[in-house]
Amino acid sequence: MKKTKLPNPIIMIFGSMGAFWIADIVNPGFNPVGVMFLLFIPVLIFEILYPQSELEQIIERPQPVPIEDSVPDESGPAEMAEKELASQ
């Protein structure tokens, strides 16, 4: 997968301030844009502090459980218990 370059959190702060400034001048609809920029900053900081390679080391992935290829008998549980006891 191609690595994308994330913006600097300082640039996001200036962008949100610019969106609030434009909202005062042009249209109040730019206020949610400024809020979205501000809410995205913690995500950027987390990405900077914990790159993907470190996250893969921190988070342990569950190992798959091996599946036995044997087909169970059509006998009931009592017969299966007797077979297990006889094999020991």
State the pLDDT at residue 45: 84
Q: Which two tokens stand for residue 70?
A: 């044997």
The answer as to whether 28 is a domain residue is yes
75 found inside a domain: no
Q: Could you tell me the residue range of the domain that residue 33 belongs to? A: 7-60
pTM score above 0.85: no
pLDDT tens across the length of the chain (88 residues): 577 777 788 888 898 999 999 998 998 999 999 999 889 888 888 877 877 666 666 676 667 777 765 555 565 666 666 766 676 6
Number of domain units in the chain: 1
Q: What is the pLDDT of residue 74?
A: 60
Domain presence at residue 86: no
CA distances from 7 to 18, 41, 55, 61 (A): 16, 10, 20, 30
What pLDDT does 19 receive? Answer: 92
- Inter-residue contact 52 to 58 (CB < 8 Å): no
> Which alpha helices (DSSP H) does the chain contain, by range?
9-25, 31-49, 52-58, 77-87
Q: Tokens 């042009």 correspond to what residue?
A: 26
Is 26 within the bounds of a domain? yes
Note whether residue 17 is domain-resident: yes
At residue 11, the pLDDT reads: 87
